[in-house]
Structure 1
Amino acid sequence: MTIQTQVLIIGGGITGTAIARDLALRGIHSVLIDRSHINAGASGANHGVLHSGARYTTSDPESSRECMEENALLKKLAPHCIEDTGGFYVAVKEDDENYLADFQHNCAKCGVPCDPLDIKEVLEMEPALSKDIIAAYRTEDSSIDPFRVSYENLAYAVSCGHGFMPYTVVTGFAISSRKIQSVQVKDVLTGREQTIEAGEIVNAAGAWVGQVAALADASIEILYSKGTLLVTHSRLAHHMLLRLRPPSDGDVLCPGGTVSILGPSSVRLTSPDNIKPSVAEVDHIISQGVPIVPSLEQGRFIRAFSGVRPLIAKKKAEGSTDDRQISRGFDLIDHSADGVDNFQTIAGGKLSIFRLMAERVCDQLCTRLKVDEPCRTRHEQLPSTLNCEWIEPGLAPATWLEKQRPDDYILCECEMVPKSAVESILTDSAIKKDSVLLHNIGARSRIGKGACQGTYCGLRLTAHLYEQGVFQQDRGIADLGHFTDTRWKGQRAVLFGEQLKQAELQEAMYCGLFDLELPVPGKPELKIET
């Protein structure tokens, strides 16, 4: 089977989905593919910080200005995806005095709003902060939901008739006359092979742009920097708390709905695949956060997760060994120099500037396709759709209480997700994939994100889907195994205190009662690490 489109986008992260919407607004048809699901890479494994630019005023002034400008734009264009928390940069005695002294001046040079705060007032607003802080500044940093943004961007593109193919990997390019004439792809779940013919191909594969480019005999040197983050059991602060020192480990506590996220770390890797948090990273991150929020030392963490920052090697300063010193800027690479005229790569960049990156890509595509259409994402609001709203913390219980339907029973007690939310999500045919349906429902809702990390709701959701006829025979058991495995991956490094008790209960239920660790006949073996 051959699929035809004007533009093929490889990579379903926040930039790829933003490109799809930008093109839809310009009347250019696209097909978006990803080897996994939406935001499976760095776009779904980050703090969710909408940077004000203050963090980069010293190390990367250009990125600082880009973040500042996009921060202001996105708050107007996508307010339903952003919690405007504001940021508090705070310093303690052991922090760099010179960095502190220059902070406000450097912000002013980049045009980044930054106001000094009275320490007494700051402690009244944020009681969790250490009483030993010596300085505090307010900035425009906010919390953004990258999943909500990506799903909204994709929902708009799909509503305009654009294509979306998750769990689809590129296996090869057919190149002749300096153009990619067709792209061979394969469904990684079913093994089905297809061909896509596109006038232009965009490589937005994040940490995997180098591998995709290599299929066209093009070379992009990417440095892989792993960042690990920790999710607290409850929300610890109203504002985003950032340690006032050069960017380092464990220096950002970002509020996100009902939890807070602490991190990140920075560890150089040789490959972006098969990454996971380590106990040593967790201990180190907590130790770095404790000086500004002492309660972290005894706090409960329900999950840890890791993502890979794809850094462009040529932006690395000569002689530097610190990945944090590498520019967070992006490159739009035209592969004409590699002998392919209809292929471009967008590499590097940050979550905060995803819209700008997509705009630059689409401007170049319009030039190549001879389409005279301006960018509209700079002015038109990102629409809000119901199926994407279930990601929002607190929405499901509020909706359930408002409607008061006796038959709308709760499937997830931690996050109060009713069956009506699941039924709404299931109207999207793109998520109905064997072996990953529970995972996809969880990605589009709050299921599995509470303290029990799927222990109860995994079983209830599986039973509900059997009852509705969605699951047949052993399909639900295999799906539950995959769902449990993905949740377990994030728990292993934080198994102490209350979370260890929770994990032991899950093991007793899933392994002791249901033998979930045993292979399902005819299905790939579920490997639960011990």
Structure 2
Amino acid sequence: MVETQVVIVGGGVTGAGLARDLALRGVSCVVVEKKDLTAGASGANHGLLHGGGRYVGNDPEAAGECAQESALLKRLAPQCIEDTGSLYVAVAGDDENYIADFPTLCQRCHVPAEPVETAQALEMEPALSDQVIAAYALQDAAVDPFGLTLDNMAQACALGARLMTHTRLESLERDNGRIVRVRVRHTRTGRETVLEPQVVVNAAGAWAGQVGALAGIRFDMVYSKGSLVVSQERVSDRVIHRLRPASDADIVVPGGTVSILGTTSVRVASPDTIYPEIHEIDTIIDECARMMPSLASARYIRAYCGVRPLLAEGSRRGDRTVSRGYHLINHQACGVGNFLTITGGKLTTYRLMAEKTADRVCELLGVREPCRTHVEPLPPSEWGRWTEPGKAPRQWVKRSDPSDWILCECEMVPRTTVEELVDQIRREGEAPTLEAVGMRSRVGKGPCQGNFCSQRIAAHLYQAGVYQGREGMASLVGVLRERWRGKRPLLWGQPMVQYEFQEALYCALFSLDLETRGRDVQEAGA
């Protein structure tokens, strides 16, 4: 039995941000996550720090929140942000009425926007189309969602919070209008833990409805899948937006050494089984190429997708019309006085969502400590240090150790970095799988998408005694299956050649059939 003031269900950026906010106020909490940190929408987004311009036409409240929070995070979490700025560009054929209204809409939402001459825009971003007819400079940026989540969770744990990953919520037991016990089970060991909280917060994102159902509360979620595609090379210095009302395939975000193109909005029945589809990728590339023609022939290394956590309210007119503002729901009216749900919102507004939720939690607990996350910088942590592009190569060159061989050539990740990550994951109380190493670093994120580094790292961890028996092979198959899911919609040109090589290497040489036997190998290693 574990007593705690608060149980937070969900290990995305909002759950991690809430844990940090509460920990800074002296409130004890346990974060329960059924997979790993950033396993949902927090790890499957553009990596865009919204400056608000995208929503000035249809969601002014969200636009204002994004503008304010973006400016705040640039100041308080600079280690997680590349302050690129952005260009909103219209091409021939775009709605000229919207183009004309855009500066006024931005002004009303307090979103800074400066007009840019088309010739100047082409000088700023040479890859832009010569069909650009209007351009505005705004203040969007690129954010590392993995580093941001890890840094929040690291400080929370340093202040006394507890993180339980790979832990499934089994039940929420009610008594006299309150949740009195939370039963959870570790998905790998099967061990059950009973938590006795004073307050429970549902921060499960797209799975919030399922968590609510365990407490006997029903609210409908809209599952809006968004797919994205990653280019091998970075094609712009700035974020590039299409100057039109928010729609499919209208953003190109620089992400370190690559660019991320997207996104789509496709209604799905469940957040559990989703895939980026070929027609989505075709649409993304075709539409983004109207802004930047070189994208039509660029090499792409991966596609991925996530599910937006949207409430069903207002969704009949289409998922793009649902507010991107957040929803903080107190379930007291449903007969559960110590249960809150925080959902919706954006990665950009996670801190504000956490603050408002923590304020309500503290009211329920009788705690009067104020929020500090809007004034106190987010400290860089050991947990998030390796997610930054270029960090591992710089450290490797600095060490200048000939015995520190490179295990991931694409991202130049050496042996010592992998070993540090393994030690860190063990200190978190988790198994050092290849998936866990990849989430906390750049491993597997380069052009080969894990073809070479996966088996090299697995072999090294066997040699180092980290893996025994079939567990390393199970981890290898797990990461390769996930990488394969992102390659499937891109099988043309060079990616097809790479796939053929992967099949020869893993299926012929290692006798691994990732499609039919992968699940059996994973279960054998569990």
TM over 0.5: yes
Whichever residue aligns with residue 277 of structure 1, its letter is: P
Residue 467 of structure 1 is matched in structure 2 by 463
Runs of 4+ with deviation above 3 angstroms: 430-434, 518-526
The CA distance in 2 between the partners of 1:119 and 1:508, in whole Å, is 49
Which residue of 493, 497, 500 corresponds with 2:489?
Answer: 493
1:386 positional shift:
3.0
CA contact (8 A) 1:226 1:308 kept: yes
- 3-state SS of the aligned residue for 1:387? coil
* CA offset digits 1:55-113 (Å, max 9, x no partner): 11110001111001001100100011000000100001111111101000110111110
RMSD of Structure 2 on Structure 1 (CA): 1.4
What are the equivalent positions in structure 2 for 1:27-106 lying under 5 Å apart?
27-106=26-105
Is 1:172 the counterpart of 2:157? The answer is: no
* CA offset digits 1:281-334 (Å, max 9, x no partner): 111111111111111111111000010011112244xx51x2111111111111
Whichever residue aligns with residue 329 of structure 2, its letter is: I
- 3-state SS of the aligned residue for 1:107? helix
Residue 399 of structure 1 is matched in structure 2 by 395
Whichever residue aligns with residue 418 of structure 2, its letter is: V
CA separation of 1:200 and 1:502: change in aligned 2, threshold 3 A: same
CA contact (8 A) 1:166 1:430 kept: no
CA separation of 1:217 and 1:94: change in aligned 2, threshold 3 A: same
CA contact (8 A) 1:332 1:345 kept: yes
CA contact (8 A) 1:426 1:432 kept: no
The CA distance in 2 between the partners of 1:430 and 1:293, in whole Å, is 45
CA contact (8 A) 1:199 1:342 kept: yes
- 3-state SS of the aligned residue for 1:290? helix
- 3-state SS of the aligned residue for 2:452? helix
The CA distance in 1 between the partners of 2:344 and 2:249, in whole Å, is 22
The CA distance in 2 between the partners of 1:25 and 1:230, in whole Å, is 37
Q: TM (normalized to structure 2)?
A: 0.97
Residue 361 of structure 1 is matched in structure 2 by 357
- 3-state SS of the aligned residue for 1:379? coil
CA contact (8 A) 1:387 1:424 kept: no
CA contact (8 A) 1:18 1:354 kept: yes
Is 1:453 the counterpart of 2:452? The answer is: no
CA contact (8 A) 1:228 1:305 kept: yes
Which residue of 480, 503, 508 corresponds with 1:512?
Answer: 508
1:118 positional shift:
1.6
- 3-state SS of the aligned residue for 2:387? coil
1:520 positional shift:
8.2
1:389 positional shift:
1.3
Residue 139 of structure 1 is matched in structure 2 by 138
* CA offset digits 1:155-186 (Å, max 9, x no partner): 11111221101111111111101111101111
Residue 240 of structure 1 is matched in structure 2 by 239
Is 1:502 the counterpart of 2:498? The answer is: yes
Residue 327 of structure 1 is matched in structure 2 by 323
The CA distance in 2 between the partners of 1:425 and 1:231, in whole Å, is 25
Whichever residue aligns with residue 90 of structure 2, its letter is: A
Is 1:289 the counterpart of 2:285? The answer is: no
- 3-state SS of the aligned residue for 1:490? helix
Is 1:370 the counterpart of 2:366? The answer is: yes
The CA distance in 1 between the partners of 2:81 and 2:469, in whole Å, is 42
The CA distance in 1 between the partners of 2:383 and 2:198, in whole Å, is 32
CA separation of 1:217 and 1:430: change in aligned 2, threshold 3 A: farther
1:422 positional shift:
1.1
Is 1:414 the counterpart of 2:410? The answer is: yes
* CA offset digits 1:322-350 (Å, max 9, x no partner): 21111111111111111111110001111
CA contact (8 A) 1:431 1:441 kept: no
The CA distance in 1 between the partners of 2:484 and 2:217, in whole Å, is 37
1:523 positional shift:
4.5
The CA distance in 2 between the partners of 1:57 and 1:384, in whole Å, is 33
Residue 25 of structure 1 is matched in structure 2 by 24
1:525 positional shift:
5.9
Query: Identity, % of aligned pairs?
Result: 49
Which residue of 443, 461, 467 corresponds with 2:439?
Answer: 443
CA contact (8 A) 2:478 2:522 kept: no
CA contact (8 A) 2:12 2:38 kept: yes
- 3-state SS of the aligned residue for 1:4? strand
Whichever residue aligns with residue 447 of structure 1, its letter is: V
CA separation of 1:366 and 1:335: change in aligned 2, threshold 3 A: same
The CA distance in 2 between the partners of 1:474 and 1:350, in whole Å, is 40
- 3-state SS of the aligned residue for 2:184? strand
Q: TM (normalized to structure 1)?
A: 0.96
